[in-house]
Each structure stands twice: as structure tokens, then as C-alpha cells.
Structure 1
Amino acid sequence: MAYERIIENKHQNNLFMSIFTFHCRLLRCVSRCITATTIIYPTTTKHDDYTKLENQPQTEHTNTKRTIILDLDETLVHSTTQMPGVRYDFMVLVKMERKIMPIFVVKRPGLTEFLERLGESFEVVVFTAGLEDYASQVLDKIDRKGVITQRLYRDSCREVNGRYMKDLSMVVGEDLGSVLIVDDNPSSYSLQPENGVPIKAFVDDLKDQELMKLVEFLEICYAYEDMRDAVQDFLAN
């Protein structure tokens, strides 16, 4: 995956990225402490055609929480009507064709920590092409602490040539620089491809570490004025 290369590059230059990550976290802490009425003019530096924040308190965008939209199936969990080949985490019951069917759900490794870390800095939204009856039960199980602030289901998708597409403007309006979507299916965010962060589909690999790698990348993205610039720059590496 592209963001795997990002993390590899980051580890090759530990000193630089440690300082950069410290700046990102310091930025978030200062932003929370300074009152909204404080006016401080930011300074930015240009680097490789993107604008990056340099340890700045209180700018218009840092005073507003950014948004991460997450897909559900094969991104956060894998669900099947058949008994999976690995230990499943829980089961939900869904009505299908007048029958109540059991759905076995396997959580992607690291899911709980992933959601908690995202919730510290971001508004976390789940946008799935799954039906509400099924998806709402799964989200109730995986989000015990209420990190997810908004849920959108299949009826919120746009169906184009039999494919379900997710319009991110339904969540953030015109402020597309403040939102990213993580999805294993790039066609689902084809309406705003520059906002998409691809992730390998999860089925039953209990050694999978994609969410832990991804959360490091997303925490760095927070420091950019426009998070689409961060994705474009990092995915190019």
C-alpha cells in the first residue's frame, strides 16, 4: 500500500519525523488551550508544492476538528453468513428474505485502539454501502465508547451503474480540505478521489497491522492546511 511506503520512509529518517510528529501534537494541544477569540496570524512554508503548518497555534483550520470517514466492510471488519475459518468476535442477526440470518463478524486487528486514537483529534464518521439493519448492529458492537459521531448507510450512497458511491459533501459540505475517507474500494470515493486513502481489504488475517500503520499517517495529515495536499504528497513518495 502507498501509505506503507510512507511509514517505511518515516522510519528511515526518525529524527526528522519525530520532530515533525512532536510539532503536530503540540499544535493540537495548543489549539485546544487557546480561546477561540485569540487572533494569531499564521506563518507557513512552501515545500514541494504543498503548504505545511509549522508549529502554529490557533489558525482557522486548527480551531475546527477535521473529519475522517471510514468504510465498514473489509476496512474495519469482515462479515460472513458462513462460519469463518478464524475465531469471530461477535454475531448479529439480520432479516434476509423473511428469514433471520446470523452474520459472523471478525474485527480487524487494532480496531479498538485505532478508533480511540482517531477520536482524540478527529470527528469520526462511518459511511458504508451496507444496509442499516446490519451495519448499525455492527457499529454498536465495535464502538462501545461512542467515538463515531455520524453513521451513513446504503440509502445515503449514490448508485451509479450498479455501484454505490459516497459523496463526502454530505458530511462536510464544501469544506473538502478538512476530510479524508479510508476505503478498500477506490470506486466508492470516485466522486472525490483526491480525498481517498486506500487500504488493503481485510478478510481473516489476524496478524494484519494496516490500521496501526494508517493511524500514524492520519495523525500527520492533521498538520496540513488541506489534508488532500498531504495525501497527494505522501502517496507520491
Structure 2
Amino acid sequence: MGNQMAYERIIENNLFMSIYTFHCRLLRCVSRFFTATTTISYPTTTRHDDYTKLDTEYTNTKRTIILDLDETLVHSTTQIPGVRYDFMVMVKMESGVMPIFVVKRPGLTEFLERLGESFQVVVFTAGLEDYASQVLDKIDRKGVISQRLYRDSCREVKGRYVKDLSMVVGEDLGSALIVDDNPSSYSLQPENGVPIKAFVDDLKDQELMKLVEFLEICYVYEDMRDAVQDLMAN
């Protein structure tokens, strides 16, 4: 009922008509939003008092979602996994060529396609290019991902690989978010980070479908970091 009243107020006040279709879709999706099993609670809709943060000028600007690869989009292992794997890539090692078995996170294909409708999609991984490029070729058949950054683009800080988002968006950090299961990866810009539960082999995992609903809400914030701040406050 609360969501319906907020929706009606938007129509009555003729607010932000450029995102009208988005909100209709969002409200239809609310009933199938998050399950109690998730460790992260994303808001199902934007609160009425938060509409002051929206600006139609920004909704017409392409925003950027930066995605981690391993344990965020896929799980890879040198051993045959205990669940059905989706494909295998061959990676050169010092000892020769090694097979890597890859399990895609459930919903990955739809997740990328939906993101590609509104966002510029970038993958920033600490994985080596020889491995990661092959995996990305397999999971991104439609060319949704516009930019790929690998381990050689990371900064090493106290023995950890850290991703500097300014390499992707420069100083316009309000237009970008990074999704990563490892918070230390975005420690240079923690306010831009959207955490996600690490994926290994749970074929019932629904985190990507939950996440895409939240990211679609983030799109209409003037500064997408405000959406993350609201998420953490709830």
C-alpha cells in the first residue's frame, strides 16, 4: 500500500516523467524482491523524501557500473567443481597449459543484458588478462561490456590489489559504482562500493537479480553514491 501511494503521488505531481516507465517496472518487481537469505538488504523503492535527490538531467546521462569478475559474476577452479560447470578455458601457466572450469552465477546473462540497457558496463578484475579475457568472451556474447581492466590496471596496496575507479570515470565518481565481493578492492573509493555475497557453487543463488533492481534505482540519483549511503543506513 505504501509503495502504491508513493507511486500515485508521483503521477499526481507529474514528477520526473522521464523515469515514469522505470518506476512502473520497479513497482511490479517489488513483490518478488529480496529473500530473507541475503546478507545485504537493498531498498525496494526510493523513499518519497529522497525524490529531492533526483534530477532528470542526470537520468539522460549514461552512468557506469564497474563489475568484479571472480566470485562476483563467476566462480573458477582448477579442479572439476562439485556442481555442473558452464564452460572451460585453457590458461598458460609456467608449468604449461591448465584447464580452468567456470561456473556462471545464476542470472548472469539477464543481469548483464538489463544493465546494458541503461548503463555503461565495465569489468575491473584482479585476474590475469589471459584468463579473464577468455571468460569475458564466453559470458558476454552480446558485447554489453564496453571496457575491460585486468590485474595490470590494479594498484598494489599493502599486498592487496586495489581498483582505482578514477581510471574508468576520471573525477566523475558520482556517476559510477563498483560491485565487488571484496571490499578491500575498492578501498580507495569505499563510498562507491556495492558489496555482494561471494559466489562459489550455489546454483540457487539470486543475488544478481536482487542487485539489478537496486542498481536501476541508483540510476536516478544525482550522485549514485547517495544511493549506496542510503543502502548502508537501512
- TM bucket, shorter chain: 0.7 to 0.9
In the alignment of these two chains, the number of paired residues is 229
* 1:3 Cα deviation from its structure 2 partner: 21
* 1:233 Cα deviation from its structure 2 partner: 0.9
Q: How many angstroms apart in 1 are the aligned matches of 2:39 and 2:199?
A: 45
Contact 1:69 1:182 in 2 (8 A): yes
Q: Secondary structure at the match of 1:60?
A: helix
* 1:161 Cα deviation from its structure 2 partner: 1.3
* 1:22 Cα deviation from its structure 2 partner: 3.9
Q: TM-score, with normalisation over the residues of structure 1?
A: 0.79
Structure 2: runs of 5+ lacking an equivalent: none
Contact 1:45 1:51 in 2 (8 A): no
Q: How many angstroms apart in 1 are the aligned matches of 2:177 and 2:127?
A: 20
Structure 1: runs of 5+ lacking an equivalent: none
* 1:143 Cα deviation from its structure 2 partner: 0.1
Q: How many angstroms apart in 2 are the aligned matches of 1:191 and 1:143?
A: 28
Q: How many angstroms apart in 1 are the aligned matches of 2:60 and 2:34?
A: 9
Contact 2:30 2:44 in 1 (8 A): no
Q: 1:166 to 1:5 in 2, by over 3 A?
A: farther
| Structure 1 partner of 2:163 | 166
Q: Secondary structure at the match of 1:213?
A: helix
| CA displacement 1:106-164 (0-9 Å, x = unmatched) | 00000000000000000000000000000000000000000000000000000011100
Q: Between the two proteins, what is the percent identity of the paired residues?
A: 91
Q: 1:32 to 1:53 in 2, by over 3 A?
A: farther
* 1:60 Cα deviation from its structure 2 partner: 3.8
Greater CA drift, 40-49 or 99-108: 40-49
Contact 1:116 1:147 in 2 (8 A): yes
Q: TM-score, with normalisation over the residues of structure 2?
A: 0.80
* 1:62 Cα deviation from its structure 2 partner: 2.5
* 1:98 Cα deviation from its structure 2 partner: 3.5
Q: How many angstroms apart in 2 are the aligned matches of 1:211 and 1:38?
A: 11
Q: Secondary structure at the match of 1:61?
A: helix
* 1:170 Cα deviation from its structure 2 partner: 0.3
Q: Secondary structure at the match of 2:76?
A: strand
Contact 1:28 1:121 in 2 (8 A): no
* 1:6 Cα deviation from its structure 2 partner: 20
Q: Secondary structure at the match of 2:208?
A: helix
* 1:53 Cα deviation from its structure 2 partner: 1.8
Q: 1:200 to 1:16 in 2, by over 3 A?
A: farther
Q: 1:17 to 1:164 in 2, by over 3 A?
A: farther
Contact 2:26 2:45 in 1 (8 A): no
